[in-house]
Structure 1
Amino acid sequence: MPAPRRVASVIRLRPEHEQEYRELHRDVPRAVLDTLSRAHITNYSIFLREHTLFAYYEYTGEDYEADLAVIAADPDTQRWWTLTDPCQQPLDSAEPGQRWVEGEELFHLD
């Protein structure tokens, strides 16, 4: 079995929405979590520091782009994003329409 693909990404958290964002993530809808699992996303964590959200997950599937498309097409996930997106502000380096920006892995201790 190949090693999982490690993915890290960042986005800003709007300070005025911090409490709302924290509350939303205390009870992520089961349907959203199930969609992530079906798309081979594991070990998903989101961290917060100085109004910057840092996400990390591992992808264990074989077609990353196709699995991301499955997540994006899921109606429950789309509803979830209508709640979380207003809390976030993409980095200046994000492409038009891009929200979370992936980081480049520079080091990994195996």
Structure 2
Amino acid sequence: MCKRICQIIKLKPTAEEEYKAIHAAVWPGVLAALERAHITDYSIHHYPPLQLLIATFKYTGSDYEGDMKKVGEDPETRRWWAVTDGMQESFVEGAQGSGKDIPWWTELQEVFRFDGKA
């Protein structure tokens, strides 16, 4: 079974160019950690009027929390977050960065889905 995830966070206006540039060439180790964690079809969209970043991905594993913990323990991912977190502002009160106890990105509730015909 596939779990779909949608998350949002605010992009600092001064970081827009740098954020897009770094995501044009995501570090291979970061992508490998996502793959090991059963994450597929990952995309991030930018909505400039509100400076929103909207991330969507599919999780195909069987232990979402455990796999996300492993991503957070990956050294290259932690280095990536040290760069990208500074470009973002969390909507979650008390959040201090990716991989911490309080989520950095806000996960959104799915209220509608249409899969169409197979």
Identify whether the pair has TM-score above 0.5, normalized to the shorter chain: yes
Deviation at 1:70, TM superposition (A): 0.4
Q: Which has the higher contact order (CA 8 A, sep 6+)?
A: 1
Distance 2:71 2:62 in 1: 15
Q: Which amino acid aligns with 2:19?
A: Y
Distance 2:42 2:93 in 1: 23
Deviation at 1:95, TM superposition (A): 3.9
Percent pairwise identity: 42
Q: Which amino acid aligns with 1:72?
A: G
Match of 1:25 in 2: 23
- Runs of 4+ aligned structure 1 residues displaced above 4 Å come to none
1:1-110 paired onto structure 2 within 5 Å? 2=1, 4-50=2-48, 51-91=51-91, 94-97=92-95, 98-110=103-115
Structure 1 residue runs of 5 or longer lacking an equivalent are: none
Deviations 1:6-43 (A, max 9, x none): 00000000000000101110110001000000000000
Distance 2:15 2:7 in 1: 19
TM-score by length of 2: 0.87
Structure 2 residue runs of 5 or longer lacking an equivalent are: 96-102
Give the superposed CA RMSD. 0.7
Deviation at 1:100, TM superposition (A): 0.4
